[in-house]
Amino acid sequence: MSRDNNRVALAKHEARFERHIAKEPGGCWNWTLKLRKGYGYFTVKKGWSIRAHRASYVLHRGNIRDGLVVDHICRNRRCVNPEHLRLVSHIENVMIGESLPARNRRKTACMHGHAFTAENTYVYSKGYRGCKTCRRASVRRHRETVTPDRLSTALNTVPFDLNAEHAALPVPEKKIDPR
């Protein structure tokens, strides 16, 4: 059991914890002490500080099971109201939020309106989705612009002018190692 989950040790500091809560009309209990990246921090004792919402969950609801994180239902990082806190997996917590991966995961169609279905979606090696219909259209457009006659012209084009002076230069012979 991690030190953060030690309800008995935290209970000794519960009165001090409660002094740093401002109860708001909307139901949130905002943490009034130190914040880091919007989250409140509670110093239990020297060398032991934890996020205030985690401490609140342990004090009011019990231990946090392994593999789960505390999610703010109210989306207010300062809130320590145990009624606004719940346990979820890390992936679920990320997907509930407003991060770019979360917003993209909630999309049901590509930017051109094609539905993300099992038949029309492929997943890149990095994990993001692509639309097969749009990919086929892109390949088709590329093939139409690169016709065989344009391709052969492009391959035979020399980037500089070969004049007689350059053409008359001797080609060095390849020396063979006698070993």
Ramachandran class of 157: left when φ > 0, alpha when ψ lies in -120 to 50, beta otherwise: beta
pLDDT tens for each residue of 53-63: 999 999 999 99
Tokens matching residue 41: 């921090």
- CA distances in angstroms from 115 to 76, 112, 176, listed in the order given: 33, 9, 63
Closest by CA position to 91, among listed 101, 78, 80: 101
Is 58 within 8 Å of 5 (Cβ atoms)? yes
User: Would the pTM count as exceeding 0.75?
Assistant: no
**Helices within 21-176 (DSSP H only):** 52-60, 90-96, 100-106, 132-145, 148-156, 164-167
Domain residue extents for the chain: 3-105, 107-153
48-51: strand order across its sheet: 35-36, 39-45, 48-51
How confident is the model over 106-162, as pLDDT tens digits?
899 999 999 999 999 999 888 889 999 999 999 888 888 766 666 666 566 555 555
Distance CA 104, CA 99 (A): 9
CB of 129 closer than 8 Å to CB of 123: yes
For the cut 80, the answer to whether the pLDDT of residue 95 exceeds it is yes
40 vs 7, 30, 35, 36, 69, CA distance in Å?
Answer: 18, 8, 4, 7, 15
